[in-house]
Homo-oligomer: A and B are copies of this chain.
Amino acid sequence: MKFTIQRDYFLNQLNDTLKAISPRTTLPILTGIKIDATDKGIILTGSDSEISIEITIPENIDGEKIVDIEEKGSVVLPGRFFVDIVKKLPAKTVNLSTNDQFKTLITSGHSEFNVSGLDPDQYPLLPQVSEDDAIKLPIKVLKNIIAQTNFAVSTSETRPVLTGVNWLIQNNELICTATDSHRLALRKLKLEDAQIEDKNVIIPGKALSELNKIVSDSEEDINIFFASNQVLFKVGQINFISRLLEGNYPDTSRLFPENYETKLTIDNSEFYHAIDRASLLAREGGNNVIKLATDVDKLELSSTSPEIGTVKEDVTTEDVEGESLKISFNSKYMMDALKAIDNDEVQVEFFGTMRPFILKPKNDESVVQLILPIRTY
């Protein structure tokens, strides 16, 4: 293998590939990045066996020569370490050449590294995902869906299915659900593509959050392909593959109560910042509990830490419908939910002190956040 490549461009793609690599892998070769010099250009592969990223660097981009391949071939180089080298090399281009024992000579300017590579035949094969049956979403929408649901997945391995987000495709509608059993985030989206088979899969939360970091906000579309136990996200030159979680996701549709007892419409940012301040004391108290009491045209938030003191926040509200209410909740869950509602006005519906309450954007049913209260009153 032998090629010369633009250093800056190479470095960006290497950094993205690195995001799939975990230093704590059981398979040592997976700490490396696989580099293939092929007819199609340079293909970089990184994987932690749960997530795999494959990036193709074409020989030319917009008429500019990016890579000049003299000899095809493959090698696996130590990931983190190789990326550090490329980052610090002095010249605009980098030359790589590999011998039969996978010793790789990396040169740039007056700098010369000789790095022991590994045999690419030892690198696990990436799962093949058929590219039939796809859904296509604008990247913006995908990133939005991730932001609105992913934070609510469980961080505990007690019920592994809850560490993922349930993607349910039914009658050309995508319904994404995440819950850690204390709160639940739901996002619905009508799919515009004509005919899509119904599906019910669970995508690991960790994979979605890595995907979110790699894919940059743009007007482009992302194509999503499902296999029996894998999902492939394809955007531009990047293939992002994640395994799916096994098991059945709980049916959460019956959790949503109807006929509220109390309903508020409130300014998102004002409510968020008032909770943020009250949570300073709730945090010191060690339990994150904030109390909320409704009044005619406002609500009062309060929290107490026996050692430090008390806080009281008044938040004005346009209208309080229904019965007056006192309820307690975890400040972090409430702040996460408010962040996930990208609307200036939030509607909060309560169903009594002991029952879950829901938050949604005003006049919009596509996002629903559900939170279990804490029993203190």
Contacts and interface: CB of A to CB of B under 8 A. Distances in A.
A89 B111 CA distance: 54
A318 interface: no
B308 A116 contact: yes
Interface in A41-76: none
Interface string A210-234: 0000000000000000000000000
Contact of A280 (B81, B103, B277, B316): B81
Interface in A245-288: 273-274, 276-277, 280-281, 284
Contact of A311 (B113, B276, B308): B113
Given A81-B284, A276-B88, A112 B308 contact: no
Contact of A88 (B81, B112, B273, B309): B273
Contacts of A113: 277, 281, 309-311
B111 A274 contact: yes
A274 B109 CA distance: 11
Interface core residue of A89, A110, A284 (most chain B CB under 10 Å): A110
List the number of copies, as a whole number: 2
A314 B110 contact: yes
B277 A111 contact: yes
Contacts of A316: 110
A315 interface: yes
Given A85-B277, A89-B277, A115-B308, A110 B78 contact: no
A312 interface: yes
A313 interface: yes
Contacts of A344: none
A171 to B, nearest CB: 45
A367 to B, nearest CB: 26
Given A110-B315, A112-B313, A313-B112, A84 B280 contact: yes
Interface string A349-375: 000000000000000000000000000
Contacts of A112: 311-313
A315 B308 CA distance: 61
Contacts of A280: 81, 84-85, 88
Interface in A70-116: 78, 81, 84-85, 88-90, 103, 110-116
A132 interface: no
30 contacts: A78-B308, A81-B280, A81-B284, A84-B280, A85-B277, A85-B280, A88-B273, A88-B277, A88-B280, A90-B273, A90-B277, A110-B313, A110-B315, A110-B316, A111-B274, A111-B277, A111-B311, A111-B312, A111-B313, A112-B311, A112-B312, A112-B313, A113-B277, A113-B309, A113-B310, A113-B311, A114-B311, A115-B308, A115-B309, A116-B307
Given A113-B281, A114-B311, 15 more contacts: A78-B308, A81-B280, A85-B277, A85-B280, A88-B276, A88-B277, A90-B273, A90-B277, A111-B313, A112-B311, A112-B313, A113-B277, A113-B310, A115-B308, A116-B309
